[in-house]
Protein backbone atom coordinates (compact mmCIF):
# COMPACT_ATOMS: atom_id res chain seq x y z
CA UNK A 1 0.00 0.00 0.00
CA UNK A 2 1.46 3.34 -0.99
CA UNK A 3 0.79 6.90 0.13
CA UNK A 4 -1.81 7.44 -2.60
CA UNK A 5 -3.74 4.35 -1.45
CA UNK A 6 -3.85 5.52 2.16
CA UNK A 7 -5.19 8.93 1.20
CA UNK A 8 -7.68 7.44 -1.27
CA UNK A 9 -9.09 5.14 1.41
CA UNK A 10 -9.29 7.96 3.96
CA UNK A 11 -11.09 10.23 1.51
CA UNK A 12 -13.49 7.46 0.47
CA UNK A 13 -14.45 7.15 4.14
CA UNK A 14 -15.02 10.94 4.29
CA UNK A 15 -12.62 11.28 7.22
CA UNK A 16 -10.15 13.98 8.09
CA UNK A 17 -6.59 12.92 8.81
CA UNK A 18 -7.34 13.43 12.50
CA UNK A 19 -10.48 11.26 12.40
CA UNK A 20 -8.68 8.57 10.40
CA UNK A 21 -5.80 8.58 12.88
CA UNK A 22 -8.25 8.20 15.77
CA UNK A 23 -9.95 5.22 14.11
CA UNK A 24 -6.57 3.53 13.66
CA UNK A 25 -5.15 4.42 17.07
CA UNK A 26 -2.26 6.43 15.62
CA UNK A 27 -1.35 10.10 15.67
CA UNK A 28 -2.31 12.72 13.11
CA UNK A 29 1.41 13.11 12.38
CA UNK A 30 1.64 9.40 11.51
CA UNK A 31 -1.19 9.63 8.98
CA UNK A 32 0.40 12.72 7.48
CA UNK A 33 3.73 10.90 7.12
CA UNK A 34 1.99 7.97 5.40
CA UNK A 35 0.18 10.25 2.97
CA UNK A 36 3.32 12.25 2.20
CA UNK A 37 5.34 9.09 1.59
CA UNK A 38 7.72 9.74 4.48
CA UNK A 39 6.88 6.41 6.16
CA UNK A 40 4.71 3.36 5.59
CA UNK A 41 1.97 1.83 7.74
CA UNK A 42 2.98 -1.10 9.94
CA UNK A 43 1.45 -4.52 9.33
CA UNK A 44 -1.04 -3.92 12.13
CA UNK A 45 -1.99 -0.51 10.73
CA UNK A 46 -2.39 -2.02 7.25
CA UNK A 47 -4.81 -4.61 8.62
CA UNK A 48 -6.82 -1.90 10.37
CA UNK A 49 -6.88 0.25 7.22
CA UNK A 50 -8.10 -2.72 5.19
CA UNK A 51 -10.85 -3.43 7.74
CA UNK A 52 -11.99 0.19 7.61
CA UNK A 53 -12.00 0.21 3.83
CA UNK A 54 -14.13 -2.94 3.71
CA UNK A 55 -16.75 -1.31 5.96
CA UNK A 56 -17.15 1.32 3.26
CA UNK A 57 -17.95 -1.20 0.53
Count of domains observed in the chain: 1
Instruction: Give every CB contact of residue 36 below 8 A, 6+ residues apart in sequence.
Output: 3
Q: Using CA atoms, how far apart are residues 40 and 26, in angstroms rounded to an integer?
A: 13
Nearest in space to 3 (alpha carbons), one of 35, 44, 30 = 35
Please report which confidence band the pLDDT of residue 25 belongs to, taking 50, 70 and 90 as the band edges.
very high
Q: Answer whether residue 5 shows pLDDT above 80.
A: yes
CATH number of the domain at 16, please: 1.10.260.40
Q: Please state the rounded mean pLDDT for residues 23-40.
A: 97
- Yes or no: say if 36 and 3 are a contact pair by the CB < 8 Å rule: yes
Domain that holds residue 21: 3-55
Q: Answer whether residue 21 shows pLDDT above 80.
A: yes
Three-class DSSP category at 54: helix
Q: Answer whether residue 17 shows pLDDT above 90.
A: yes
pLDDT score recorded for residue 20: 98
Phi, psi of 15 (to 5 degrees): -115, 145
Amino acid sequence: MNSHDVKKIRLSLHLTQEEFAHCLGVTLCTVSRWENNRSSPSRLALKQIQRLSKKDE
